Structure 1
Amino acid sequence: MSYHSVKLIKRPELEITEDIFNIVTQDIPTPAEGEVLVKLSHLSLDPAMRGWMSADENSYIAPVKLGDTMRASGIGEVVKSNNERFPVGARVMGLMGLTEYAISDGNGLNVIPKELPAEAILSVIALPGITAYHGVFEVLKPEAGQTLIVTAAAGSVGSLVGQMAKNLGLTVVGVAGSDEKCQWLTKELGFDHAINYKDADFVEQLTQATPNGIDLFFENTGGLAQGPIFERMNPHGRIAVCGLIADYQKAEPAPGPSWVGIIKRRLTIQGFTMPDHFHRIPEYGQALGAMLGKGELKYRAHVIEGIENATSGINLLFDGKNTGKLIVKL
């Protein structure tokens, strides 16, 4: 029997084009001693994949080697096992790649409950959830009564950040790229304000939504919104820099905020990436599962069908056309 996987065969120059991938057909492998064979059911498409495709060795995680299966998170079932920690029938999650089957020695695999929908796991308990949780609780460290703003607020990470902050008693402002997304943030998720950064009066709306300034800024995008938000930061404010998706497909990134402003406002700015904290996934996953079980976190998923559509589907993230966590169902 055979299966399909997506190989990275070229580095993207700027935009992700389909010619950098090759979908190959291979024989289903047999696990060696200590290994398991996993049949994938759902794959996660994330903005971080753009960085993993680059040739930059000076990053938080090594790039995918040309000819290797493209890195991606996924959920699947163990169908053959030579590893007692992962018996046949176990449902697992991990960085198994854009593939229908994967061999693993168990490192980085986590057993997950069978009763939870795959969409809920990939939207809340997987990378988006642990990223939001770490950024909120470990980097921003919010206090009730503060004002928090999050960019890409309707995305898989931003939407969770805003909900966590609201549950802690903060005033939450979301920035998104369409009126529909803004309405979802306020009407469904309970954000206090949501602003379309494409509006001509974005700066005026931002000022009205933050009369007492901004204490905490969860940055996912860079781009047009960053400068005006930075100018609204309060003294001793904190900024968590999680992503800059507006710059990922540019030859030159946009200039950042003035360091003079950082000094005058005595700001704390911290970039973070989750591979530094993968050892805390069980802890974070338990906390997120509890929030989900209590109904404290809502999500929505954008599901595309078939591994053959994964390569074109990635660009939905960078075009802002996805409505929720982007998932490939196999």
Structure 2
Amino acid sequence: MTTNKSIHLMKRPTGGPIDDSLFEIRENEVRDINDGEVLVKQNMMSLDPAMFGWMSPDTESYIPPVELGDVMRSSGIGEVVASKSDKFQVGDRVMGMMGWQHYYVGSAEGLNKIEAPVSDEAVLSVFALPGLTATQGLIKVGQPKSGETLIVTGAAGSVGSIVGQLAKAEGLNVIGVVGSDEKAEWITKELGFDGAINYKTDDLAAKLDELAPKGIDLFFENTGGPIQHHIFERMNAHGRVVVCGLIADYPKAEPAPGPSWLNVIKKRIRIEGFTMPDHFGEIPQLLQTLTPYVMGGKVKYRAHTLEGLESAITGLNLFFTGDNKGKLVVKF
């Protein structure tokens, strides 16, 4: 029999760092698969800021919370080692929501076969949730126009870095907000952003005036924090704000107050929040949009790889500290 190691959510976070007290590590024999099911050995799984929402008790969010006692939710990539499904054969490489565990056993529905000759790291970094989120948020929600100015927070992160590169490919002036000089250099020198702001050390107002003298047309929000107010004050008439994430507020018991709605009226600003589960049915079309940019060398990535299943627990805190460099993944 095959033994599976899995990590289960046992308590809800109440603010502050994530630690072992919220989880339980278990080892159990993998059950036999039934008709329509597969057994997948995961090779790598993704860590995403959305996990903080999935661990919360909020039942009114876009996706139900992880039930206490259940395997922690995550997407991953691995190899089918047993199949009773017409959809997959042994040896197929698949991606899907398989959780914090070495082996996934369950329905084949929701898993997708990966045939592209790219690494597991590249799949999770670009073609999985980060790239799909960036493409949907920028192209479909933000509706960018050549010549406009876009600013994206969390610009060195998995979603923000792709948003900025796609925007550059669409002919926009792109400013990225990051948390270190190293990240600022990476997005400008390697990814081609027009400018970068270090929110920890720069004079935010002065830097925004320097990099966006004509104002901001499109704001892709991943983080929240004080710079949000400075950006909002500089939005142009008929600007768009795409609200994708607010990592700065996730560890807080009470979120920080947002900008005044007065400018929403005066400048006719459109603000839209979005999440990918609403658009899973559009994934083929999103990939058709994203893939040519990637294959044409217009979208690059870097990954921050953690080793071993247990590293996922404290690894989540890298989102709070900003010490992760690129897409955060866990390799088994």
Go from structure 1 to structure 2 and tell me whether the alpha carbon gap of 1:260 and 1:13 turns closer, same or farther (over 3 Å shift): same
Preserved CA contact (<8 Å) 1:3 1:101: yes
**What is the TM-score of this pair, normalised by structure 1?**
0.98
Q: CA deviation at 1:133?
A: 0.2
- Output the CA distance in 2 between the equivalents of 1:266 and 1:322: 36
Read off the aligned partner of 2:294 and give its amino acid letter: L
State which of 21, 28, 36 in structure 1 corresponds to 2:23.
21
Read off the aligned partner of 1:268 and give its amino acid letter: R
1:106-255 correspondence runs (5 A): 106-113=108-115, 115-255=117-257
What do the CA deviations read for 1:55-88 (whole angstroms, capped 9, x no partner)? 1101000000000000000001111000011111
Match of 1:46 in 2: 48
Q: CA deviation at 1:200?
A: 4.5
Preserved CA contact (<8 Å) 1:37 1:104: yes
1:266 aligns with 2:268: yes
1:267-282 correspondence runs (5 A): 267-282=269-284
Q: CA deviation at 1:289?
A: 2.7
State which of 271, 286, 289 in structure 2 corresponds to 1:287.
289
Could you list the structure 1 runs, at least 4 aligned residues long, displaced by more than 3 angstroms after superposition: none
1:95-106 correspondence runs (5 A): 95-106=97-108
Q: CA deviation at 1:300?
A: 0.2
Indicate the RMSD between aligned Cα atoms, in angstroms: 1.0
Q: Secondary structure at the match of 1:223?
A: coil
- Output the CA distance in 1 between the equivalents of 2:89 and 2:202: 57
Q: Secondary structure at the match of 1:307?
A: coil
Match of 2:10 in 1: 9
Read off the aligned partner of 1:152 and give its amino acid letter: G
Q: Secondary structure at the match of 1:275?
A: helix
- Output the CA distance in 2 between the equivalents of 1:94 and 1:200: 40
Q: Secondary structure at the match of 1:248?
A: coil
Read off the aligned partner of 1:29 and give its amino acid letter: R
Read off the aligned partner of 1:158 and give its amino acid letter: G
Consecutive unaligned residues in structure 2, runs of 5 or more = none
> Quick check: 284-293 or 143-152, which moved more?
284-293
- Output the CA distance in 1 between the equivalents of 2:202 and 2:293: 37
Preserved CA contact (<8 Å) 2:76 2:98: yes
- Output the CA distance in 1 between the equivalents of 2:202 and 2:137: 30
Q: CA deviation at 1:233?
A: 0.3
What do the CA deviations read for 1:273-312 (whole angstroms, capped 9, x no partner)? 0000111122223432332111110000000111021111
Read off the aligned partner of 1:141 and give its amino acid letter: Q
State which of 312, 316, 324 in structure 1 corresponds to 2:326.
324
Read off the aligned partner of 1:106 and give its amino acid letter: A
Preserved CA contact (<8 Å) 2:30 2:105: no
**What is the TM-score of this pair, normalised by structure 2?**
0.98
- Output the CA distance in 1 between the equivalents of 2:78 and 2:71: 16
Go from structure 1 to structure 2 and tell me whether the alpha carbon gap of 1:114 and 1:89 turns closer, same or farther (over 3 Å shift): farther
Preserved CA contact (<8 Å) 1:14 1:249: yes
1:67-106 correspondence runs (5 A): 67-106=69-108
How many percent identity over aligned positions?
58
- Output the CA distance in 1 between the equivalents of 2:130 and 2:39: 25
Read off the aligned partner of 1:4 and give its amino acid letter: K
Preserved CA contact (<8 Å) 2:38 2:106: yes
